[in-house]
Amino acid sequence: MGFAEVGCIECHSSQQRESVMKTLHTGFGEITYDPDKVIRFPEGLIGFEHLRKFIVMPVKKDDVLFCIQSVEEAHVAFLLINPCLFFPDYQVRPASGDLEKLDITEDDSYFVMTTITFHKDKTASLNLLAPVIYTPRTDRAVQVVLEGSGYSTRTPLPKVE
């Protein structure tokens, strides 16, 4: 399970940094984080526009799956995954308005991730219609909508046993 590793990472960084760590009581337990190291969604996620700050926690060793945990509402967390693992042709480029929101230029690197939804029938799906673009340089992220792309909010993944 990834969260034990997350704890170690957080402890390690706290030893190197002087800033005051904060603690969050989430559904997964107590999480200690550095308030200077949150990522910001200038517009929140769609339907969650009021939540602007999240902490990122890797939940698998090889950096394909992340949990973003709201620091403003402890019960809100999302799983983000690199959709290219399953859909290699999936490509998203930030529009000019998105570049402004992310405070980057076209030369900056960015990552495209999608949320994962679990369903009652034990399947999981990806929201390819509204991916999240994250830029490490500014630590900002936006959820964009690919209107007219034909992508679905519920693109199925292989069955989760």
Partner 1 sequence: MLVLTRKVGEGIVIGEDIVVRVMECKDGRIRLGIEAPRDKKIYREEVYERICLENREASQWDLQKLDALNAILPSKGSR
Interface residues with partner 1 (CB under 8 A) are 1-3, 27-28, 43, 45-48, 59-60, 62-65, 67, 76-79, 81, 85, 96-97, 100-101, 115-118, 122, 124, 127, 129-130, 143, 145, 147, 153-154, 157-161
> What would the two tokens of residue 105 be?
């230029």
Minimum CB separation from partner 1 for residue 142, in Å? 10
Minimum CB separation from partner 1 for residue 24, in Å? 15
CB 28 within 8 A of CB 7: no
CB nearer partner 1, residue 62 or residue 89: 62
CB nearer partner 1, residue 98 or residue 110: 98
CA–CA gap between residue 65 and residue 115 (Å, rounded): 10
* CA distances to 52, 96, 146 from 100, in Å: 16, 7, 17
CB nearer partner 1, residue 14 or residue 123: 123
CA–CA gap between residue 76 and residue 16 (Å, rounded): 28
Q: Is 37 helix (H, G, I), strand (E, B) or coil?
A: helix
* Four-CA torsion 92, 94, 95, 98, nearest 10 degrees: 140
CB nearer partner 1, residue 14 or residue 48: 48
Minimum CB separation from partner 1 for residue 15, in Å? 27
Minimum CB separation from partner 1 for residue 145, in Å? 6
